Amino acid sequence: MFKETKNKVQTIIKTGEETQPSRLSGPQRLQECSLIVIVLSSIFLSVALFTFSAADPSWSQTAWGGEINNAGGLVGAWLADTLFLFLVL
């Protein structure tokens, strides 16, 4: 708290406002971001598969005028249809 010099005493005050270095390095940040993307993609794919409807317009359907019932929209309908098609074969 106090620092003595030859002629006088100086007061040294430390505040908690010092900036701390980032705790994650570049590769660690990339790994964390990719994990977040994988989790969000998995959630989207799960929702698309759970709300699959055979009547949705998709890759294996010839009729394109129907309403999309999949919660993932057109992309979810295509992904769910393609995955079900290749998983069943």
Q: Give the pLDDT confidence of 28-43 residue by residue, as tens digits.
A: 899 999 999 999 999 9
What b/e sequence results for 25-54 when a residue is b if at least 16 CB atoms lie within 10 Å of its CB, and e otherwise? eeeeeeeeeeeeeeeeeeeeeeebbebbee
Q: Which is more confidently placed, 17 or 28?
A: 28
> What tokens does 9 get?
């005493």
What's the pTM? Answer: 0.68
- Within its chain, how far is the Cα of 75 from the centroid? 18
pLDDT of residue 34: 97
